Structure 1
């Protein structure tokens, strides 16, 4: 018995012990072994959040997401638990933030105005609009507009990684790289969403595309991106906010069109 306890076990054996035999110790081990996922995800989400948001609270919500992932994961499907757990952890943290009403209504309203402004002007001019044009549209100065972008940064940080639909792990970003077959209706919607997001990214400025690429594809933090691009973290935050608000406008427009077709 002691020899068995001291023998190294791979994750497959832990999953079998937990899922097939209800071994609570195996479950605890799986949770403990994957705690770095919580640290990684909560650390990324903490960037740019208001100071009143406790990192400990983010981590606590993340741990609840990890526990949920361990309980619901089907290890027999051959999927990567790390990816699945990351989605669950991220979702639990975001749910906790939403329930805590961490974004003031005034900030939400500013984000909506900017998003609608980009949507209206780019549809009118059929091109990427400048900060000067947006400032004029919003009837604010360039400095005030940039301050608005800084304020809404906390809302836009995770927008591409939010689930497309409730109770699903697929995100807006994932449709760019996930070609798994679904039912025909799903595939049609996925195609239009992918096309809309791709076109939206193409309309971004070069710097905005670089920020999106480094953040969501290369997994760099905003501070690391600032070093790579030789810009200040606040400027990177502004570029990210503009990019996400533009993309959200494109996706919302596509969603409305799809709903009209139903």
Structure 2
């Protein structure tokens, strides 16, 4: 789970700590505690603040994501309830028999981890920051053997701190994932997507801002889950902003149903969401899940949905019979020509595969020049225009 590059701090909020802060973090992380040789790390050189990354790596400000409504409850930053997190595993453990053994095993595993205090979060964050800085120097600077050994130990300690921070906050992901279990993905799949957001939050958390890690991580966890739904939950992938609009539409529809005692009309939903009725109807159509034509219906389980759908392009039975009879008449007329002439006429007018062929194509097929094919076509048409050949086809022409 280690990061090989320095994660930039948020672009908004209070300014980052002084340069000596990273040095102190590096010094703290490099103490003898946990060192393989049991000794004390060599003295560290003052660590300068590492170069910031581009704006693309900046942490989003603590406000709703662009394209979301500021009043959206799901998008607002909120403080997780400590008591709820403490009992999270116990609540879900009661349902584990329904969810399955894999869920039960996972919840039991994360329930053994103790939640972190604010001071422990800061300590781990400092060690993670020092580890990231050490990895940055190992990748980008020429070092002596002694310096490399020291930095490798600091980087390893940062990875251990990162793992500790992740494991202590896994039940926070479960707390968020529970709210998304009715949207077409299994709980463990939702948790897996949320864990990716938790990893991102650990890498980008800035303890100097003063807010708790769980408050900061909630945004990243939600974002990762929502993007996971956009990529995986539907047969036809929908953009993230469309899924967010569908989620808001669903909430408004539920609220209006409770308030009105009936299903709201598209016009009423349009007024509530500041959209046009056509836009609401399009969203409602988009929200429908596709159904397989092979899905069975009825008690016998033998009839499929595809069996009941009309094929509008299929010809009528009478048309099929007429086409077969006409084909027989044409083959009889072509029988009055030589085999080569009959083949040329059949290819030229699409009687072989339903596709008319050019003179060049027929010439290549028969090994003749384009001009020779044209001459043979002209002779064949002259023969076919004889009354003895046209008489059987007059009824079809009329």
TM-score of the superposed pair, with normalisation by structure 2: 0.27
Relative contact order (alpha carbons < 8 A, sep ≥ 6): 1 or 2 greater? 1
TM-score of the superposed pair, with normalisation by structure 1: 0.39
| Structure richer in helix, relative to its length | 1
